[in-house]
Amino acid sequence: MDDPLPERPGLIAEFETPPGQAVLPEVHVALRLDGDRFGRLRARPDLRLEAPFDARFGKWVLQVASAVLREHPQARFAYVGDDEISVLFGRGAEGFGPGGFRFAIRVAAQASGQLSLLIGQVATYGPRVFQLPTDDWAVRYFAWRQAVILSQSLDRYCRAALSLSGLDEAASRRVLAGLSDVEKQEVLSEHGIDVAAAPTWQRRGVLVWRKPGGEGDAALVIDTELPDGEAFERFVRRVAAT
């Protein structure tokens, strides 16, 4: 690859497809399902979820991602963070789904219904479609999302640590506003937290993919110990080619 990501994520954003725009032939299509106000959802006292991450909630989201892959065989894999699912589909309109963005809305509705049933509360995903012109750009997209998930992980650990120090949510967000990831790690260090020791799935996300020739649930692999950086990019490229 000639230009490493996630140093220039704005370039990726240019490939986002607005509603009504057709899916071009031969492009890779990534569908991102963004959780709507999941922070508020996780904070509901009746759900009794742990902060900054809850293993049950993480498993629910993985169940949703797995259901998307089962329902849509043209989907190659799903990359999962706690608040988002990015699904790589096949090339062009035929490899994505009928109706372009309308198909994306339908997948988001299915995922929303699945998660709502699992947790017993209304949960909503919003769809975003990215048309990525080459294999390299497809890999770059997922490298970008992994970097975002890492940054969000640091932010959530920081907010949890500051909460234990007596700061409310609004005050914690003001303290963290504008801090780099390195500075957030310093905040955690001051509170005696080594985020590198946190479970890998919280920092690097999870990949759900199909084994070649497999059928049904037995075909799905859930990888919770992903590498990062260039090793992650190579891993994504290899899985995308299966």
**Strand 28-35 to strand 84-91: parallel, antiparallel, or no bridges (unpaired)?**
antiparallel
Task: Give the domain extent around 220.
Answer: 9-148+200-240
Q: Is residue 31 part of a domain?
A: yes
Q: Is residue 185 part of a domain?
A: no
CA distance 159 to 144: 23
Q: Is residue 133 part of a domain?
A: yes
For residue 98, the model assigns a pLDDT of 84
For residue 144, the model assigns a pLDDT of 94
pLDDT at 2 over 70: no
Tokens describing residue 108: 């988001």
Percent of the chain scored above 70 by pLDDT? 93
Question: Average pLDDT over the chain, rounded to whole?
Answer: 90
pLDDT at 235 over 80: yes
pTM of the predicted structure, to 2 decimals? 0.91
DSSP at 224 = -
Cα separations in angstroms, 183 against 112, 162, 178: 35, 14, 9
pLDDT at 113 over 60: yes
Q: Is residue 169 part of a domain?
A: no
The 10s digit of each residue's pLDDT in 190-205 is 999 999 999 999 999 9
The 10s digit of each residue's pLDDT in 37-82 is 998 999 899 999 998 999 999 999 999 999 999 999 999 999 999 8
Q: What is the CATH number of the domain that holds 218?
A: 3.30.70.3000
Cα separations in angstroms, 120 against 60, 113, 186: 11, 10, 38
pLDDT at 7 over 70: no
Tokens describing residue 155: 């932010």
For residue 210, the model assigns a pLDDT of 87
Q: Is residue 68 part of a domain?
A: yes
Number of domains in the chain: 1
- Rounded mean pLDDT of 95-116? 94
- Cβ-contact 201, 58 below 8 angstroms: yes
pLDDT band at 148 (very low <50, low <70, confident <90, very high): very high
pLDDT band at 108 (very low <50, low <70, confident <90, very high): very high
**Strand 75-81 to strand 28-35: parallel, antiparallel, or no bridges (unpaired)?**
unpaired
At 185 the three-state DSSP class reads helix
- Cβ-contact 177, 163 below 8 angstroms: no
pLDDT band at 5 (very low <50, low <70, confident <90, very high): very low
Residue among 181, 178, 128 at smallest CA distance from 154 = 181
Q: Is residue 181 part of a domain?
A: no
Q: Is residue 154 part of a domain?
A: no
The 10s digit of each residue's pLDDT in 79-101 is 999 899 999 998 888 899 888 89
Q: Is residue 170 part of a domain?
A: no
